[in-house]
Amino acid sequence: MKYRIQHPEWITVSFQGKPFYGYDQEWYGQYRQKLAGCGPTTASVLAAYLDRKEWHIDTPGQQSALALMETMWQYVPPRMRGLYKTRWFRDGFCAYMEEHSLLGRVDILRVRPFHWRTPSPETAGNFIAEGIRADCPVAFLNRHDGGEPALSTWHWVPVTAVESRDGDWLCTIWDEGHAGVFSLSNWLKRTRFGGGFVRVTGTKDLVKL
């Protein structure tokens, strides 16, 4: 079974005349933002999707996306070593949702660096799938790539699709304008420092065109 967000075009922007999947922290103006801005960038992708879903606010190009990224930096700012805890992402994103009258519940699933406390692939896969079924990208914090080629260590990305196949869960991520796929089972087994997931459920399409 495969689940996808229903409207990937809402978070696909026009950049240099071509479609660009998601947003890019390199669009920030300051060096520290470019270096540590993956968290607020991913949060901006989720916010853009919810803004479009609930209020029909579009972010069609790089400049409108960057404006949202600058706003989100105030809600989900990196700390000294980056935004390396899922609860920081959750708390900041909840504040954004409340102040922008967005409905929904924000949940986290931690993946701790001790493998005896790691959630099973089924638990993590279902957590992601429930978020995707609720029609919102799921934020993924990866503190170590676990040998998965599609992932970058110490990085946040949005998950836009997940598929259960042969006992594994294959997750589609968007990063730097491109789509990639990684094995959730392999990542959970091999990651050294863990990470986690943040999903938003319970949202509604409030405005009808």
DSSP class per residue in 129-169: HHHHHTTS-EEEEESS-TT-TT--SSEEEEEEEEEEETTEE
The answer to the question of residue 206 being in a domain is no
Nearest CA-CA partner of 199 in 116, 135, 119, 154 = 135
The answer to the question of residue 40 being in a domain is yes
The answer to the question of residue 207 being in a domain is no
Helix (H) or strand (E) segment spanning residue 31 = helix 31-36
pTM: 0.96
CA angle 195, 143, 61 (to 5 degrees): 90
pLDDT for position 207: 56
CB 27 within 8 A of CB 45: no
pLDDT for position 205: 76
| Packing angle of the helix pair 38-55, 86-99 (nearest 10 deg) | 30
Beta bridge partners of 61: 14
CB 170 within 8 A of CB 181: yes
**Residue 165, domain CATH:** 3.90.70.10
In angstroms, the CA 51 to CA 167 distance is 35
Q: What's the domain range around 102?
A: 8-201
pLDDT for position 206: 66
In angstroms, the CA 148 to CA 165 distance is 17
pLDDT for position 209: 45
The answer to the question of residue 61 being in a domain is yes
Tens of each residue's pLDDT in the chain, 209 residues: 999 999 999 999 988 888 999 999 999 999 999 999 999 999 999 999 999 999 999 988 999 999 999 999 999 999 988 999 999 999 999 999 999 999 999 999 999 987 777 999 999 999 999 999 999 999 999 999 999 999 999 999 999 999 999 989 999 999 999 999 999 999 999 999 999 999 999 987 765 54
The answer to the question of residue 1 being in a domain is no
The answer to the question of residue 102 being in a domain is yes
In angstroms, the CA 157 to CA 76 distance is 14
Exposed (0-12), middle (13-18) or buried (19+): which is 83, by Cβ within 10 Å? buried
As for how many domains the chain has, the answer is 1
In angstroms, the CA 20 to CA 149 distance is 20
